[in-house]
Amino acid sequence: MDTMLAAVLHDFNDLRLEAVPRPHAEQSGQVVVRIYACGICATDFKAITGQRRNVRFPFIAGHEPSGVVAEVGPAVSHFKVGDAVIVQPSGYCGYCRYCRVGNTHYCEHAFTTGGDGPDDVRPGAFAEYMLTMENTLYLKPAALSFDAAALTEPLSGAWKGVIQYSELQVGEDVVVIGVGSIGMLCLMVAHAAGAGRLIAVDTSPYARAQALRLGATHAVDPAAGDAKSQIYSILPDGPDLVIEAAGPIEAVKLMTDLRRRGTRWNVFGITTHERFELDGGLTHFLEGRMDASFGTTPLAMQRAIRLMETGLVDTSRIISHRFPLSHIAEALQVMAGPERNKIIINP
């Protein structure tokens, strides 16, 4: 039996580099991709370290991949061996009531490769090869590096949340709470879409400095004093849109506290089951709108590819570290530190 190298999670904080059976495309529509690059998402890190508990072992994480088609199964007609591709981690049937209206991320028969969400979780891309379905693939633009292309999925989520759902308009004032990798992509999308004043909120000096380089007009340190007062000193009339991309419940509470009449807010970063309270009457009279965004869709993936190939968003600018798969333990140590953004694994 031929094998491949993979990072296999056997229990929380028990990640092992192992030789495992290499997958093959034996069923209709299946494709094997040789992984060239895969980003580490915060949800991967949370699964490995036990902060996210909905994990079944053994588990191969990694859901932000790009690579080259290595093998195609029966009835695959749109891709061939040797094609450079971007992989959408969320698979879908295309026929259920949700897929029929374009909400493929709600699919009743969904699967994910190395990610989170549906019950059907398949081996991901912290490995040399990954098995997926033909309809999750997109041709990689030739001018786009594999590392930059690996960030298509998180960029697509940022586009979906900021543009499709929260409907950012040119000139609107935006606050992004948490400018790690996903928050930075939200900020870059907002900048490309013509945001007016664009405020990055983060306790990390590293993250704030990078945000200012990538389009933020202001950066606020919530540890330096009352964050709302700092933000309202910049935006006396309050923000048009607030994006929570941090994760901790304190970020969600700050988001709700920043609202004024008409403010839209997007619960983007928190993925753990924590609670926050709203004043019902105040929420009613503020007449704001709450959105949330998870996962991606073919529409969002296509929009993200367009943003990258036209140069409107350069995802390579948020890559701070690269590691071979054999050094993934070192990559996770860097992931736990403050001075990093997107980390890429190159199997």
User: What are 261's two structure tokens?
Assistant: 């009449």
What pTM does this model have?
0.96
CA 338 – CA 138 distance, rounded (Å): 33
Cis peptide before 298 (omega within 30 of 0): no
User: What are 37's two structure tokens?
Assistant: 């690059």
pLDDT of 121: 97
Q: What would the pLDDT profile of 15-35 be if each residue is shown by its tens digit? A: 999 999 999 999 999 999 999
Q: Is the pLDDT of residue 214 over 80?
A: yes
Q: What would the pLDDT profile of 79-134 be if each residue is shown by its tens digit? A: 999 999 999 999 999 999 999 999 999 999 999 999 988 999 999 999 999 999 99
pLDDT of 1: 64
Parallel, antiparallel, or unpaired: how do β-strands 90-91 and 241-244 relate? Answer: unpaired
User: What are 14's two structure tokens?
Assistant: 């028990």
Q: What is the mean pLDDT of residues 206-215?
A: 97
CA 247 – CA 41 distance, rounded (Å): 12
CA distances from 252 to 217, 226, 258, 265 (A): 22, 15, 10, 10
Contact call for residues 55 and 108 (beta carbons, < 8 A) = no
Instruction: Please state, rounded to an integer, the average pLDDT across all residues of the chain.
Output: 96
Q: Torsion over CA of 58, 63, 65 and 68, rounded to 10 degrees?
A: 60
Q: What is the mean pLDDT of residues 175-197?
A: 97
Parallel, antiparallel, or unpaired: how do β-strands 218-220 and 198-201 relate? Answer: parallel
List, in order of start, the domains of the chain with CATH numbers: 3-150+314-346 (3.90.180.10), 156-292 (3.40.50.720)
Q: What is the mean pLDDT of residues 270-299?
A: 91
pLDDT of 53: 86
- What count of Cα atoms within 13 Å lies in the side-chain half-sphere of residue 95? 2
pLDDT of 95: 96
Residue 302 host element (H or E): helix 298-309
Q: Is the pLDDT of residue 50 over 90?
A: yes
Give Rg (Cα) of the chain: 20
User: What are 214's two structure tokens?
Assistant: 């990538």
In this structure, of 198-207, 219-228, 264-273, 293-302, the range with the lowest mean pLDDT score is: 264-273
